[in-house]
Amino acid sequence: MASQNPDTGTDTTAMLAAVGIEVTEEGKARARRRLDDARARWTPALEAEAREQLGLPARAA
């Protein structure tokens, strides 16, 4: 299943293929796993530290 780019409404897989980037189901599954792993490691303390380093205000509770 290809996702729609919210900015352009175009098919992301087709857009990448047009510039020579092959997108496979295996690659998409691997990317989803990596994103899930990163989200699992993202804690409120890590977010607060990142916001402080970037000079962003703290999130409201």
Q: Which value, to the nearest 10 degrees, does the dihedral of the CA atoms of residues 57, 42, 22, 2 take?
A: -80
Mean pLDDT of 2-16: 75
Residue 23 token pair: 């997108």
Task: Give the separation between CA 12 and CA 4, rounded to whole angstroms.
Answer: 6
pLDDT of 54 over the 70 cut: yes
This model's pTM is above 0.75 = no
Alpha-carbon separation of residue 51 from 54, 57, 61 (angstroms) = 5, 7, 14
Asked if residues 32 and 38 have their Cβ atoms less than 8 Å apart, the reply is: no
Residue pLDDT, tens place only, 15-53 = 999 999 999 999 999 999 999 999 999 999 999 999 999
Q: Which value, to the nearest 10 degrees, does the dihedral of the CA atoms of residues 19, 22, 30, 2 take?
A: 80
